[in-house]
Chain A
Amino acid sequence: MSERPAPRREVVVGEPLRRRPVRQLGVRSEIDEQTEVGGAYVRGLMRSQLRAGLCGFGVLALLVGTLPLVFAAVPDGLGPWLSGPALVWLVLGGATYPVLLCLGHWYVRRAERNEQDFVDLVEGQ
């Protein structure tokens, strides 16, 4: 009896070949599969990007959006050597554009850093 080979026993323990890739890919698959956790990561990225956008918009409103009030407050400009219209001409005709460019440059760097942080988070798992 003992020589008889024991009946082959098959134990089904799951799907070894199609193991879910969760452990290898972590956050990335959470995002791909639309899980709660993945959604939270996307929300986090969106929040940081929205904050960057609102920040830039706030500075724009503060620096450029208040200019009409400034011009209204000093209709005569800065004394005899710079009349009111000449001041408006200098500010709106030239000085505003570098401000807009700096804001844009700052935002692009900030947004790209946010995205890099996010990628690091995903890859780092």
Chain B
Amino acid sequence: MNQAYAVTAVAVVVVATVLIGGLGLRISRTTSDFYVASRSVPPRLNAAAISGEYLSAASFLGVAGLVLAQGTDMLWYPVGYTAGYLVLLLFVAAPLRRSGAYTLPDFAEDRLESRTVRRAASAFVVGVGWLYLLPQLQGAGLTLRVITGAPRWTGGLLVAVVVTAAVAAGGMRSITFVQAFQYVLKLTALLVPALFLVAAWHGDGTPRGPFDEPPTFRQHTQVQVEDTLRLRIEEPLTVTVTGTVDATRYRDEGVLLEPGTHTIEGGTDLRFTPGSTVPRPAEHASAGTSSWAEPLSGSRDAHPLYSTYGLIVATFLGTMGLPHVVVRFYTSPNGHAARRTTLVVLGMISAFYLLPPVYGALARLYEPELIMTGGTDAAVLLLPGRLLGGLGGDLLEALLVGGAFAAFLSTASGLTMSVAGVLTQDLLPSLGVRHFRLATVLAMSVPVAAYLAVSDLPVADTVGLAFAVSASSFCPLLVLGIWWRRLTAAGAVTGLLVGGGAALAAVAATMAGFPEGGWPRALLAWPAVWSVPLGFLAMIVVSLATASRIPPGTGATMARLHLPEGATR
């Protein structure tokens, strides 16, 4: 990998982000501009911004890595991310815009006329936002380390500083331009190398069988083991070793590894012959998994069908409650435009998601050793060097690195924007833009502190947690709030706490390593299947029990949510 090109690419993306952010700053003149872009962003631009914000590192790098490590079932992730937008369109998009609120807590208070609901929703927005920010920072750290060997904290800190500066300086308007630019950048950065890679695959005689199980080496492969590895061998495997295996030193000798667990010391060279099976790491069943999806894929082996449905429910229903997604709807001029915008977003992210599966399949063919070393997240970045090499490979690699950084920057800035919005409104007195800037720093500093404190722990798996919690708390609140007149404030708070709390507790227990296996583990690792119905049930039952306390303005609010803008005076 050519460091100079890659570092230049990162620098260009960062500078372009700051420049476009500054351009927006000159345009945003009023407080309203600053917060919600004066509600006048045209659908295409807004849709590009939404897509740019939504396609995070998990999409850009993680999906291909997951396909490499675990096979094609992992493609449920991008399908779920996209279908989540369809569900959002079906039930939420237009009424949410017509509610005229700016954040989820605004919606909750407006609909249910209660400060308590507002506070509960605020807590969940900030919590989900922070959970989602952490893996963005960690992904940036990993990427920069893969490229340059820089210490892990560098990449995360770089993203944190750039995002805080861009958001605090320009607010929503500049973020809209930045995000739209980053969508185009991400799509280009994945599309152009993909075309060259597919051509190279064709030139290689279109080798077949990328999804054969278990994965095998197609050609002579030499692997330099950096950190000490423990490998699980299923069938006897002969490798040529220079270094230390199972505490015995070898020097360019053929070694027969019997089935069982073997320790490879750091610095050892392994050479595999074509046709030999790729060994998997022994540490956790899920090692080699993309770090962005760990808890969601942690127990897939035990009950794959249940796990798949857990993933489907979490992503289909969780998208509507992600704070950085929801806040974007207030920038559409009206409900009609909000609906059109969502449809364009659906098209844009669909186009993007056609690409990661291609990288996943090529990675299975050309770099299966990443499964062994656990570096599957780097699969996308390393492919051009592997397939093409030379100057072309270096340039395409730089393009991919730039795209990956755009992914970290855009998702992180959207999240920071929405968390800061909620902090400004609910925690700090709303005295204007100055406090928004202060809130931006606060919104970013907590995840940065967590990132620096626990950078060695597998905390990156919080993306799945964020989706499950959002599906169990905000999905019932939004769907019932928009379509059911008998929802009460007490019901909403209970549902938020019971549904979201249960999902949170379940995944926290899984991450702590409890329980060991079988159905209890599957149920806790994939809580959405039961925690979403639980949230709905709690909201409905408590609302019916407190039927005398239906907010007095419900009729008027419902009319406002559902009537087309032209139909009222």
A105 to B332, CA, bound (A): 18
Q: How far apart are A80's CB and chain B's nearest CB, in angstroms?
A: 11
Which one of B83, B555, B559, B567 lies within 8 Å of A64 (CB-CB)? B83
Q: Which residues of B contact A50 (CB under 8 A)?
A: 483
Q: Which residues of B contact A96 (CB under 8 A)?
A: 79, 82
Q: Which residues of B contact A72 (CB under 8 A)?
A: 305
Contact assessment for A101 and B87 in the assembled complex, using a CB-CB cutoff below 8 Å: no
Interface string of B553-569 (1 = CB under 8 A from A): 00110110011101111
Interface string of A6-30 (1 = CB under 8 A from B): 0000000000000000000000100
Which one of A57, A98, A115 lies within 8 Å of B87 (CB-CB)? A57
- Chain B CB within 10 Å — which of A64, A98, A105, A122 has the most? A64
Q: Nearest B residue to A53 by beta-carbon distance? A: B90
Interface string of B75-98 (1 = CB under 8 A from A): 110110011001101110010000
Q: Nearest A residue to B559 by beta-carbon distance? A: A42
A104 to B358, CA, bound (A): 25
A101 to B558, CA, bound (A): 28
Label chain A's interface by main secondary structure.
helix
Label chain B's interface by main secondary structure.
helix
Q: How far apart are B81's CB and chain A's nearest CB, in angstroms?
A: 11
Contact assessment for A85 and B558 in the assembled complex, using a CB-CB cutoff below 8 Å: no
Q: Which residues of A contact B361 (CB under 8 A)?
A: 89
List residues of B (55-79) whose CB comes within 8 Å of A's CBs.
Answer: 67, 71-73, 75-76, 78-79
A69 to B563, CA, bound (A): 40
Assuming the contacts A31-B567, A53-B90, A89-B75, asked whether A100 and B555 have C-beta atoms less than 8 A apart, the reply is no
Assuming the contacts A28-B569, A57-B87, A104-B346, asked whether A112 and B72 have C-beta atoms less than 8 A apart, the reply is no
Q: Which residues of B contact A124 (CB under 8 A)?
A: none
B312 within 8 A of A: yes
Contact assessment for B346 and A100 in the assembled complex, using a CB-CB cutoff below 8 Å: yes
Contact assessment for B342 and A104 in the assembled complex, using a CB-CB cutoff below 8 Å: yes
Q: Which residues of B contact A98 (CB under 8 A)?
A: 350
Q: How far apart are A104's CB and chain B's nearest CB, in angstroms?
A: 5
Q: Which residues of A contact B556 (CB under 8 A)?
A: 34
B378 within 8 A of A: no
Q: Nearest B residue to A107 by beta-carbon distance? A: B90
Contact assessment for A100 and B83 in the assembled complex, using a CB-CB cutoff below 8 Å: yes
Contact assessment for B312 and A60 in the assembled complex, using a CB-CB cutoff below 8 Å: no
Can you report 28 residue pairs joining A to B where beta carbons are below 8 Å apart?
A42-B558, A45-B562, A57-B87, A60-B83, A60-B87, A64-B79, A68-B305, A69-B305, A83-B211, A85-B72, A89-B72, A89-B75, A89-B361, A92-B75, A92-B78, A93-B354, A93-B357, A97-B354, A100-B83, A100-B350, A101-B346, A101-B350, A104-B89, A104-B343, A105-B343, A108-B89, A112-B336, A115-B336
7 smallest beta-carbon distances between A and B, as pairs:
A93-B357, A85-B211, A92-B75, A97-B350, A88-B72, A115-B564, A53-B90
Residues of A near any B CB (own CB < 8 A): 28, 31-32, 34, 38-39, 42, 45-46, 49-50, 52-53, 56-57, 60, 64-65, 68-69, 71-72, 83, 85-86, 88-89, 92-94, 96-98, 100-101, 103-105, 107-108, 111-112, 115, 118-119, 122
